[in-house]
Every structure is written in structure tokens, then in C-alpha cells.
Amino acid sequence: MSKIIKGIKLRLYPNQAQQAQLWQMFGNDRFVWNQMLAMAKSRYENNPSSHFVNGYQMDALLKTLKQEYPFLRESDSTSLQVVNHNLDQAFKMLFQHKGGQPRFKSRRSSYQSYTGKSKLYVVAKRYLKLPKLGYIKTSKTSQLQNVKIKRYTVSHDPTGRYYLSLQVEAEVNQLPRTGKTVGLDVGVADLAISSDGIKYGTFNARWLEKQATKWQSRYAKRCHRANVAVRQWNHNHKTAKLELDDYQNWQLARVMKSRYQQRIANQRRDYLHKLTTNLVKQYDVIVIEDLKTKNLQKNHYLAKSIANASWYQFRTMLQYKCDWYGKQLVVVKPNYTSQICSHCGFHSGKKALAIREWTCPRCDTHHDRDINAAVNILHKGLKAVG
């Protein structure tokens, strides 16, 4: 039995008072980020040779900040420390030329969150006790048995729902050995083709995608109309000013298109979880090809299909589940896997994508293109691990 770090996401159902308190806590984290960022920028402008104020020094400034702005005491103190840590990391990435310059955060953002490191308590089947918020209703807490919560994040997403994301340390039993190995060739028509000849189809949610596209179009049109109306009103009325948020029609469209997009993402993730768990249970060694998804998506004819297949997410899930359950994932280069005969090793040359089946001119073996590639991937992987 080994210990692992994993994430658990639960739905929150705060009452009206808790919702108001949550938005105050979102705002407090945003306020501390903006204050610390403004301080760092003004410090650099006044004296470019001055030393950077790191995360520990920012934490020391929190006491003074709380005295000046008492509303910051309404937040979990660890969440403000996490803000300082994140800003410190952002500047370090900037100095190492691995990221852009940190930006100020806006209250108009459709996604708001705060992260804390304080202890949470499970008080009932559907209730948790959160710092500063007290008892709050949530979805099933059965997943939180026998785990150690390391940090938590409360978020409000564009769909208008509240979520609690937990980073926990849990114990996992390794799966029994089966003695089986498999090679996987990923594709567009089928998500994965195994060397055993099994084809796993890609995720399909055409109706949801159609609805998301429809509401995305409505959102864009309504937002444009609202912007035009706001500019006209503010031009003609100098005293009473309107804002875009005063028009509710486009906000309804924003929520609807976000909910359809989230349903697609959730169903795709669920499909990938079930598929990868099934593969890890069946095989001890899984060999896959190392594809550069970003490069392949430059082909505009296949970009949407490749994105829908979620090859990177599929590989990531296989990787950590193999690590959890004591299985082995081997990654090999995909060079010539669809061109070499898996029976005799003859290299038949490059073939157009339209050719899905072919016969080896040397040994007369008839091949399915994808299954033949999966067998070659398996041979490469087994050779690599000896």
C-alpha cells in the first residue's frame, strides 16, 4: 500500500449569507494580490537596483495590511499567504524567462477562487466545516474518508456554481498482476487501437457541441448589442452612467454556453477515466507513442478532431494511474510504425492517410494500418525495457 497525492472536487451549496462571505473572501485575495503587485512595481520604478520582496517578506507585510484594512480579517489567513506565495512564484518564473509579467486581477472575471491550507472537518454525509464559513452543504463526502487534506480551493466558475477542490494524501492498493502487455496507437477516428485488435472509439457529444455553439453565437451577438447600447446611453446621458453588467440578457447567454461547455468537458473526462482505468486493470505494461499534439494541431483539417480526442489528457491519466497501481507505462517514438510490417519487418514506404489496409509485398501478410502500428509500438516498447 503506497501513499499518493490526488485531487478531489466537490460541489458546494452555500446559503445567501455564505455566498456573500465567499465573494468577500474572493475579493480579499484579489485585493492582496493587487496591493503586493502594485508595491513591487512601484518599488522597481523608484529604484530598479532594489532587491525583490519575496514571499516571506510579503507575509510579514500582511499584519500591517490587516491593520490598515480590517476587512482582510474576514478571510482565512492561510489563503492570503497562498496569494503571496503564488505572486512570488510568478515573479520567479518571470526572472527565469519562463513566464510573462504578473497582471492585476479584476473583479469582473467570470472565475473567482481562493486557496487555503487550514484544516477542514467532515461533520455529516453532506456537510463540511470550512474556516470562516462554518458548516456548509456539499456533495457526497464519502471520498474524504481515510485521507489527509493538504490544501483546499473554493471557486466560483462561469456556470454560476461553487466548487471545493481538495488536494489530499491517500493510500492506494496496487492492482494484481495480469502478465499482459499492450501497445496503443492513438488516432482520430478511434481514440486508441490496441495491439490486441481492440478499437476504442473517440468521445462523441454532437448534440451538446451543437448547443454550445448556438449559445456561444447568442452570447457574442448579445454582448455586442449591449456594448453598443451602453456606449450610446453614456454618450447621451452625462450624469447617469450604465455598465455592461446592467444588461442581463447577455449574462444569461454566457451562463448557458458555459454550462454546455462544462458538460462536454465533464463527460469527456469521465469517458477517459473509465477507459484508462480499464486499461490499467487489464495490462501490466502499456506502450504508447510520443506524439507532439501541439505540432499536429497546426493541421487545420484535423485540429478539432485531435483536440476532441484529448490525447494529452489520455496519456496523463495513464501515466499517473500506472504509478498509483504499480503498472508500467512506456513511451516510444512513433517513427515508421505504420509503414513497417509487424510480421517480417519490411519497410513498405510512406502511405497516404486514406489507405487504412495494406498487404506486405514480402510476406503477403494483410494488415489493418492502425493495428499494425500498435503491434510495432508494442515491439519498440518491449525492446526498450528489455
Active-site annotation holds for 157: no
C-alpha distance from residue 120 to each of 4, 13, 141, 171, 209 (Å): 19, 16, 12, 19, 38
Catalytic residue among 185, 243, 270, 284: 185
Active-site annotation holds for 190: no
Active-site annotation holds for 185: yes
Catalytic residue among 157, 245, 289, 290: 289
CA 364, 379, 326: angle at the middle one, nearest 5? 145
Active-site residues, by number, are 185, 289, 370
